[in-house]
Amino acid sequence: MRADGKGALPPYFNIDPDQAQTLLGASATTADFQHIAQACASGRADLASRGLEQTGARELRLFSTWEITRYLIPVATGHFRRVLKQNPDLPQGRSETQGGAKWFTLDEVLRLRAFFGSEGSKAKEYLPYRPAGQNAKLVAVANFKGGVGKTSTAAHLAMSAALDGYKVLVIDLDSQGSMTSIFGGSVEDEWQTVFPLIARHYASHLRGENQRRLDRGEAPTPLDDTLSDALEIRAPDLIQSTHWPNIDLIGAQLNLYWAEFQIPVWRMAARGWKLWDALTDSLAQDGLLDRYDIIFLDTPPALGYLTINGLAAADILLVPLGASFLEFDSTGRFFDMLHATFGSIEEAENLAARALGRDGLAFEWDAVRAVVTRYDGTQQAELAALMQAYLGPTLSPHRQDFTALIGQAGEQVQGIYEADYRDFNRETYVRGRETFDATYAAFKQLLVGAWRQDELAAQQAAE
Ligand SMILES: Nc1ncnc2c1ncn2[C@@H]1O[C@H](COP(=O)(O)OP(=O)(O)OP(=O)(O)O)[C@@H](O)[C@H]1O
Ligand SMILES: [Mg+2]
């Protein structure tokens, strides 16, 4: 019934074919894509000129004494204030009103944490655990299903790890560049993404091959400009700092998608190139595994070559999914695809290895966990319990609640850790924050366990 009381058919009845044909307009050609792209570019420039651009210099908010002593440095507020008073050289914070709460930058919080770490009680965890001499842990967040919370989870984990005192690198492997815009990165083209690292890995392989050709008296394969240029690039050349003092970024933008076409072409030209090792080897060669504590890899919703590289590089693999039938179903198929993909790489390598009497290849991850995201306990409890029953320990026991705070966070504020709690009802804030803190805690449990395992193995090897 219409508001005026007259019954009306739903809009899909009685469509007039002639009128529809007129409205259809001319058919589209490839050139039209260019016109549409131009229209978008003009619109984008207009929006940017009105200050609606997403990227651009971003500033991290300040942290209050309440937040610092409740969430960041485990000391009583009174003690915290006394220590600051006794040490006038330490950051003293600033207040908006006379005698009001004191606020600190994250840089200052990190200095305070370092001070408590060196001067304070050894019984307290002022500095987060990382065993000496062990490499950074790489964490990939992946699922070929789109929109399941990969980027949100990776970004929140990166921020909570940074607040916890870790030095974090975030690598965006998704040409959509969402992670890059969360961290305010600016990326001109594929040369400021991981692309040159992968190209360099291939170029080094070719150079090795060429040496062998020369030794056999054969002509070497020439390296094209792309490969020669890539040989000059090191990972630190690609790293941008962000508005978070202890989070750095290797960004992405649309051109990174080119890698999905280029990598298989290179692989066809050199079957011996271990493309899945490209990222791991480059990051290790360029010293990033010493320089950072944790490296997060955000991947696109596809199992392409970039995702394979990210997954092969990872020590810990997190697979976010919602507690819905569709997401559970397609996540199952994602694991099927992982099995087929990595299984076939191993099989081919092991065939070659056996022929040459070398050690085979077996991919290994410290931990693989599915993580329920956007969980609504009132609607999804039954499905989540069923998923838990089938997946057992592979499903992280902590479910990340749906929280309106994420959707609400504005253009300049990305996620719960960047939001100022004064903008929300304190209860709402505490609940929203708790769910992401618990997501981090579940992840940190894996991280600490994996590092400890490495530390024990190193000790055993030394005995
Ligand atoms: N815990 C949460 N509560 C509420 N909304 C959430 C939560 N996690 C993610 N979202 C929202 O869900 C949407 C998809 O999230 P996100 O971009 O992280 O998914 P994705 O898997 O990275 O997507 P893509 O496959 O496109 O890369 C976003 O709008 C995000 O704000
Ligand atoms: Mg994403």
pLDDT tens, residue by residue, 1-36: 455 555 788 788 889 999 999 999 888 888 888 888
Report d(CA 179, CA 177) in Å as an integer.
6
- The minimum-distance atom of ligand 1 relative to the CA of 298 is 22
Across residues 140-169, what is the average pLDDT?
A: 96
pLDDT of 1 reads 46
- Taking the centre of ligand 2 as the mean of its atom positions, its distance from the CA of residue 208, in whole angstroms, is 36
- In a mutational test of the pocket of ligand 1, which residue from 256, 303, 406, 435 has the highest number of ligand atoms less than 8 Å from its CB? 406
In whole angstroms, give the CA distance from residue 456 to residue 458: 5
Pocket of ligand 1 contains residue 307 by CB under 6 Å: no
Determine if ligand 1 sits within 6 Å of the CB of residue 108: no
- Residue 209 pLDDT level (bands cut at 50, 70, 90): very high
Domain ranges of the chain: 63-119, 137-448
SS3 content of the chain, % helix, strand, coil (to 5): 55, 10, 35
Which ligand has an atom closest to residue 375 CA? 1
Q: What is the pLDDT of residue 273?
A: 95
Give the range among 11-20, 167-176, 271-280 with minimum mean pLDDT. 11-20
User: pTM for the full model?
Assistant: 0.91
CA angle centred on 80, ends 74 and 83, rounded to 5°: 130
Determine the atom of ligand 1 nearest the C-alpha atom of 143: 21
| Cβ pair 387, 323 in contact under 8 A | yes
Please tell me which residue, 223 or 54, carries the higher pLDDT value.
223
Range of lowest pLDDT (1-5, 107-111, 209-213):
1-5
CATH 3.40.50.300 fits 137-448, yes or no: yes
* The pair of three-digit structure tokens given for residue 104, joined into one six-digit string: 């600190």
| Rounded Cα gap, residues 335 and 372, in angstroms | 15
Going from the Cα of 2 to the center of ligand 2, the distance in angstroms, rounded, reads 41
Instruction: Give the model confidence (pLDDT) of 115-126 as tens digits.
Output: 999 988 888 888
Higher pLDDT, 57 or 43: 43
Task: Tell whether ligand 1 has an atom less than 6 A from the beta carbon of residue 178.
Answer: yes
439 lines ligand 1 (CB under 6 A): no
The whole-number pLDDT of residue 254 equals: 95
For the chain, the farthest-separated pair of C-alpha atoms sits apart, in whole angstroms, at 90
**Averaged pLDDT of the chain:** 91
Atom of ligand 1 nearest to the CA of 154: 18
- CB 174 near ligand 1, within 6 Å: yes
406 in contact with ligand 1, CB cutoff 6 A: yes
Percent of the chain with pLDDT over 90: 73
Ligand 1, atom 9: nearest CA belongs to which residue?
149
Q: How confident is the model over 328-368, as pLDDT tens digits?
A: 999 999 999 999 999 999 999 898 888 888 888 899 999 99
- Whether pLDDT at 50 is above 80: no
Q: How far apart are CA 402 and CA 377, in angstroms?
A: 9
Model confidence at 248: pLDDT above 90: yes
270 lines ligand 1 (CB under 6 A): no
Quickly count: other Cβ atoms within 10 Å of residue 329's Cβ: 12
Using the mean position of ligand 1's atoms as its centre, give its distance from the Cα of residue 405 in Å. 12
Res 51: pLDDT: 62
Ligand 1 atom 3, closest CA: 402
Length of the chain: 463
Q: Taking residues 426-454, report their average pLDDT.
A: 92
pLDDT, mean of residues 148-165: 96
- Distance set, CA 301 to CA 172, 174, 359 (Å): 12, 8, 33
Which DSSP category does 16 fall into?
-
Instruction: Give residue 427's pLDDT.
Output: 84
301 CA distance to ligand 2 centroid (A)? 7
